[in-house]
Amino acid sequence: PKSFFKTKQRYDDVVWTNDHYAIVSEGWYDTRNTKSYLIDTNNGESKVFDDRNYQDVYSDPGNFNTTKNQYGRYVIDMKGGKAYLIGDGFTKDGQHPFIDEMDVKSLKKKRLYTSNIKNGKEEIIDILNASKGEILTTQQSPSLYPNYFKKNIKSNKAEAVTNFANPFESIKDVYKEVITYKRNDGVTLTGTLYLPANYDRKAKKEKLPLLIWAYPTEYKDKNTAGQNTQNPNDFTFPYYGSFVYWTTKGYAVLDDAAFPIIGEGKTEPNDTFIPQLVSNAAAAIDAVDHLGYIDRKKVAVGGHSYGAFMTANLLTHSDLFACGIARSGAYNRTLTPFGFQSEQRNYWDIPEIYNKMSPFMNADKMKTPLLLVHGDADNNPGTFTLQTERYFQALKNLGAPVKMVLLPKEAHGYQAKENIFHLLWEQDQFLEKCLKK
């Protein structure tokens, strides 16, 4: 064995092109840095071709197109000293997936293709034949189910490979829009807004109740926190945990609302977790209210896992919401004393932050209706079922309007049809009671 490269940061990945070229990636969490090298093991040379904040999606060079070699292993598809990168293509002006050709020796790139289909989204799946310009893509829109196409990027002609019908006809006409707004410190936020299919967006006579679904994400700078990765042309694809169903019952829904938690420089994100959380929520409600669609006195918030933790904190530390739904969350951070989510400091390093961020420690302040849901066999070490059971007991004994639902034999996510139907029923009953009566 002979060493051919040593990382300076934490090793992340290696992908081979052939017997002597390899791409090695390393990273460092505290700075969110990722760095990739092209290495020639014949002479030991290494060249950096990607050095950036990995949360900076606008500068993402994409992933190398791969193929299986004679051993059944995936390697970078390289022909004539050329390799090909497929990128998601997120920009401040929208999403435009792309294909770049890269010269392995010089690292110079040439843009071969940029997707610009109108009123739809194209995702590049594979490069079938680079010399002929043949690729495999999917195309979709909010009401058109994703289907596969064989496309020639030289002639721009596409041939359908599949013809899947939309299995969710009942919500195909729901109005969908990605909205952009700012919170009080100037950070740009986004969310996908859904309105009932028959809602008159011009007259706006009826003010709708609003449901917000979100999940907090930590960042080290405001620029990356404000980048948009939502596409209004994504197919509206509901799942068991989605709030989108409720558009059929007269609700507005802000899905995947951006909830960045930022800690720049030596400041950690969780040092100001609560005020940033409340600021994100206030900005989201203000944005939809400004459009004239909602009754801001009838707003609910919900989340799963860390989103449930978020929900409990928002109901505890603000008066923005009429009710909340928290699924499979953790509420007492002393029960996760050696870090949680992206927090690396332990409880004994920063006991005041662990206590302040724990809804359980502030249960006496929580007076807003809350539906707690948990799988009774949750084996995720950060969200044991005990978290919900003890939080519920505390709230109930303190007189808070709270209900707990435990789903039999479910882990951190829910699988059984009976449990999912019951979950949807419980949520519907709760929302109708809290927001429509």
Q: CA quadruple 29, 328, 375, 347: dihedral positive or negative? A: positive
Check if 378 is active-site.
Answer: yes
Catalytic pick among 115, 141, 305, 328: 305
Residue pair 171/247 in contact by the 8 Å Cβ criterion: yes
| Encoded tokens for 430 | 């709760």
β-pair partners for 87:
98
Per-residue 3-state assignment (H helix, E strand, C coil) for 72-114? CCEEECCECCEEEEEECCEECCEECCEEEEEECCCCCEEEEEE
- DSSP E strands: which ranges in 120-275? 121-129, 134-140, 147-152, 157-160, 175-182, 188-195, 208-214, 217-219, 252-257, 260-262
Check if 290 is active-site.
Answer: no
Crossing angle for the helix pair 306-317 and 273-290, nearest 10 degrees? Answer: 80
Measured CA to CA in angstroms, residue 129 lies from 17, 145, 154, 160, 351 at distances of 17, 26, 12, 17, 57
DSSP secondary structure string for all residues of 264-295 = -TT--GGGGHHHHHHHHHHHHHHHHHHTT-EE
Check if 305 is active-site.
Answer: yes
- The whole-angstrom separation of Cα 355 and Cα 351 is 6
Q: Which residues of 388-421 are buried (b: 16+ CB within 10 A; e: fewer)?
A: bebbbebbeeeebebebbbbeebbbebeeeebbe
Burial label, 374 (beta-carbon count in 10 A; 0-12, 13-18, 19+): buried
- The whole-angstrom separation of Cα 340 and Cα 217 is 13
Residue pair 173/164 in contact by the 8 Å Cβ criterion: no
Tell me the three state secondary structure of residue 297: strand
Rounded to a whole number of angstroms, the distance between the first and last alpha carbons of the chain is: 72
| Encoded tokens for 313 | 């904190």
Which H helix or E strand runs over 352? Answer: helix 351-357
| Encoded tokens for 309 | 């933790």
Measured CA to CA in angstroms, residue 182 lies from 193, 294, 435 at distances of 15, 18, 26
Q: Which residues are catalytic?
A: 305, 378, 412
